[in-house]
Structures are given as C-alpha cells and as structure tokens.
Chain A
Amino acid sequence: MSTLDVTAIKADFPILSTTVRGGHRLVYLDSGATSQKPTVVLDAERNYYEQHNAAVHRGAHALAELATEDFEAARVTIAGFVGARAKDLVFTKNATESLNLVSYAFSNATALNNRGAGLIDPRFVLNPGDSIVITEMEHHANLIPWQEVCRKTGATLRWIPLTDEGRLDLTHLEDLIDHTTKVVSVVHQSNILGTINPVKMLMDRAHAVGAIGIIDGCQSVPHMPVDVHHLGADLVAWSGHKMLGPTGIGCLWGTEEILEAMPPFITGGSMIQMVEMEKSTFAPPPQKFEAGTPVVAQAVALAAGARYLEKIGMSAVADHEFELAEYTVDALNALVGVRIIGPANAHERGSAVSFVVDGLHPHDVGQVLDSRGVAVRVGHHCAWPTCRRFAVPSTTRISPYIYNDTSDIDEAIDGIVAAQEFFGVK
C-alpha cells in the first residue's frame, strides 16, 4: 500500500495547481521526460543566488567561501542519496554529458595510446576486434556515444536483444559479453518500456570478462532506492532534472579507482593541478572532470530535491510507483484496441508505461489528452531502435511520479477513450 500523502505532496509543487488549455487542471504524466519542482528546490536556488553567490574554489572573500561550502555540501548530499562518497561524484550538465564523458574516456585514451602519449590504462584502449555491449532498449544518450566510439576506434557495437514482452533476451549473453568485450553499458530502467533490467548480473558478467560496467540510472535513481555499491557498476550516470532538481545538472558516480584511471573529457580551468605552456597535470577526481565554472546553483537546488525525496523515503516512492504501474497497466489492458509496448504486468517494471492505440497515431492521442489538460509524451522517446524492434513508429507514454495518484491515471484513460471516439476508431 502506498503511504504517500499525494494531496500534500501536490501542494508542494506550484506548477501542479496551474491550469492549461482553457481552464483544465494540469494532469502531469510526463515525469519520465522531466519532473516538476517543489518549492524547496526553487527556494534553495533563489536563496543561493540571493545570499551566497560567488565563484567557487577560488577567491579569498567571504562569499567565495560560503558558495564553495554550499557546493561541496550539495555534493555530499547528492552522493549520499545514492550511498556514495562525495569525492566519487562528478557533476555534469546532464546524463547525456555524463555518458559522453565516459565514452570519450575510451576514445581519448585510445588516441593518446596510439600516439604513445604517456601511460594509458589499457582497459580504456579500444582496438578493432574489441566489442562494446549495450541493449536494444537504450536511450539515444547511451547509444550514439558508443556508435561514435566504435567509428573512431574500430571496435564493434553489440546489443542484447529484446523479447516480445520488452525484457532483455539473455539467451546468448555469454556470447554477447565475451573476452573481446571492454565496455558493458546498460539502462537500469527503460524510459520507453518501463522494464527494470537485472543490472547487477550484467555488471558481474562484465567484470568476469574484464570489461568496464556502466549503468544509465536516469529512470531508476529518481524512482527507487539506489545504492551504487549494490549495483556492481564501475560508473553510474543520471540527470538531476528528473528527480525534482533543476535543468542543467547531471551526475556521474564512479569508483575511485576508475575515476583516477580515466582521462579527462572537457579540459580547461578548474580541472588542473599545474599548468605550463607546453603541458599540464590534472586535479584529482571529481575536479578532473569539472572544467570551467561548475553547476553551483543547480547542485544546491538538486540537493534540496534529494533531501525532499529522502524525507518521503525512496522505498515509499518505489511502493507508490509500483502501485501506479499496476493500476496503469491494468487500466490499459482493459481498453479495447490498446496495446502496451513493454511488460504488460507490474513485475520488474517502473511506472512509465508506453502504449499504442489501434488506428490512432500517438501524436493524435497526445493531442486529445492535451486538450483535456493531460500531459503525456508522444514520439519515439529517444529510443528509436526500440520502437523499430516493436514495429511501431512511436508510442504514447504515461509516466507518473510522487505527485500523481490513480485519479490522474483515470484522466489519462478517459482521454484515450475520448480520442478513440473522436477519431471514430472505437
């Protein structure tokens, strides 16, 4: 049973009391794309700018000290949210940048190694004959960077295929992740299918063949308790804006050892130890990966979001979402002419549920829902190959969060029926 007081939670999110499209109550079911922000997050960002704003990690004045303290305290909070130490948490712009930071470690290490430029950790050096393994349900953010690494290094991209139910088909896992594999990078919870993947097992398999294991935690960190140490990964990437935080901040957690071994991605100020005209040395992680003025206000605000979630309790959040997932799946299954793309039951799945309506294009479904104030996502959800796998050009997706209850799902379901009636496909 969900223990969340959704009415009280809703009241903490100013945007949820607004109306859209001519007076309709906003029913926001697009949190898989980005979450809404509670007042505490907005206040944290504002307070920071009003009281402590200064350049961090430099300058000797009072504000510089306060700003630096705020920033590093935020790092402790956000790292703690996933059971990690602050020094192992890197701030980026978003999860996409986090994953690029990692993929560039491989292409940069390979380029440096091929030039004989110093001691390069061989685990990051890719050659033709090496393989990178992902899944067929990756967000483009965990697909295109690896395609690019393969183009640059000659390594081969492999992917774990999907079953018709929308789960990983692990039948040939031992052949897919083999002695040639140097990277295994997989999504924890699919943003399009909702599937929760057995990442621990996949990371163990990666390590068994000496590969580096990476997890895209974009849809898991905001929605369930995540302790990075239990996932068994070397690196975990996620975005702040999907977990109540502001846009403009992403996270990358890595083991101390891996972050030490990785070459930097973006270079410049703030990431150096010593600089001469000919060459430079780099600061230890996380600063090594945070060139330029960092995302200070965003970190402070994201920390407030993390504290808000911790107060509710991530187990309670996960229970609540399980209930919504079950309710949504059951309601969609009960509709004639509607087919879920992804697991059609609540077992090992998140609350994001994609579906198609016979005879109706998702754009048109979304439009009818929008006319009733219901915000859902339509399209390929940045997982175009996944759509292709299920032979659909795109889907409609309902993705609720802590501020949604079953009445919001009901609104969406009513809207789907209304769309069927409007277009005469029922």
Chain B
Amino acid sequence: MDLESLYQDIILDHYKHPRGKGLLDRPMGSAFHVNPTCGDEITVQVNQDPQGGLIIGYDGQGCSISQASASVLVELIHGETIEKSEEIRKAFLEMMHAQGAGDPNEDILGDAIAFAGVAKFPARVKCALLSWMALQDAEIQAGLLTTGEGA
C-alpha cells in the first residue's frame, strides 16, 4: 500500500497549517461532533454576513485526515452562500462514498479533491466526514437548512 495515495501533500499541508482555525464570537449555529471509535472531536460554527455569505469557525483535535478535512472545509465554504455550501458538501459526501471510483468535480471541490484517495480506506472515511457532518448540523441549527438532506 502506498501511503502517499492516502496522505496527499495537500492533506498534510492542511494538517500542519490549518486554515481559519478558531471559534466564532456569537455563532448562529454550532455543532460538536465526535467520532466514537477514536475520540476525534470537532466543533463547527456558522454565521452569515449581511450579503448571505457564510462565516465558518471551527476547533477540534484528531487525526490528520479529520483535521485537514476541517481546514479544507473552511477554505471552501467560507464566504459562500448556503446553496453553494450544500452543493460542495454533497459533492464531498458523494466522493467519500464512492470507494475511490466515481468522478469527483475539481471545480466544485477544489483542494478537497485530495480526499478522493481517503475514500479507499473505509476506516478513514468517517474521519474525513466528521467536520462535514458537523457543518450540516450547525447550518440546521442556524436555521439556514432544514433537516434530512444528504448524509
């Protein structure tokens, strides 16, 4: 097995230099998720600017995959509309459930495309999805999203 296919440089870079890490002052929505098999934790928070752009905050601890995924999430979602956020989140979910097959859209996913390799490691898919699940919950809590979509 080659480790490089799992740990793409982009992932390692986000892990070592997380973007936008930190919690928001008064979030509209905030969700705390844990991965009960390994204890990884993530809090994702959401606010919305007057123009409808999302403001994302997060904090957490865990493995390289879960933490890099959260960092990529912020980079992708920050400033986007809720509609665009949903489009990206669904594309990410689809890629993670494709077991390495599928045809992820780099235009939508940006750096997150690096996680395509993670989808081949069933034990790590949960790590990659942790922050994205929390994002969905935070958006629901903020009243930006109704329940029951995706996942």
Contact = CB atoms under 8 A, between A and B. Distances in A.
Secondary structure of the B side of the interface?
mixed
Given A393-B40, A423-B64, A363 B1 contact: no
Contacts of A370: 1
Interface in A3-36: 21-22
Interface in A46-85: none
Which one of B2, B6, B38 has the highest number of Cβ atoms from chain A below 10 Å of its Cβ?
B38
Interface stretch (A107-115, A130-138, A376-384): A376-384
A368 interface: yes
B79 interface: no
A394 B38 contact: yes
A393 B38 contact: yes
Given A363-B127, A364-B64, A378 B3 contact: no
Given A371-B1, A423-B12, A384 B64 contact: no
A21 B123 CA distance: 14
Contacts of B1: 21-22, 370-371
Contacts of B65: 363-364
Contacts of B38: 362-363, 378-380, 393-394
Contacts of B12: 423
Interface size class of A (residues with CB under 8 A): 20 to 34
A367 interface: yes
Interface string A339-376: 00000000000000000000001111001101100000
A377 to B, nearest CB: 10
Contacts of A394: 38-39
Contacts of B127: 363
Contacts of B7: 422
B144 to A, nearest CB: 30
Contacts of A364: 63-65
Q: How large is the interface on B (under 10, 10 to 19, 20 to 34, 35 or more residues)?
A: 20 to 34
Interface string B1-34: 1110011000010001000000000000000000
A424 B9 CA distance: 12
Interface string B104-141: 00000000000000000100100100000000000000
Contacts of A362: 38, 63
A379 B65 CA distance: 15
A362 B64 CA distance: 10
Contacts of B41: 393
A249 interface: no
Contact of B64 (A361, A378, A387, A393): A361
B66 to A, nearest CB: 8
B146 interface: no
B61 interface: yes
Contacts of A378: 38
Given A363-B127, A364-B63, 7 more contacts: A363-B38, A367-B6, A378-B38, A379-B38, A387-B39, A393-B39, A423-B64
Interface of B: 1-3, 6-7, 12, 16, 37-41, 61-65, 121, 124, 127
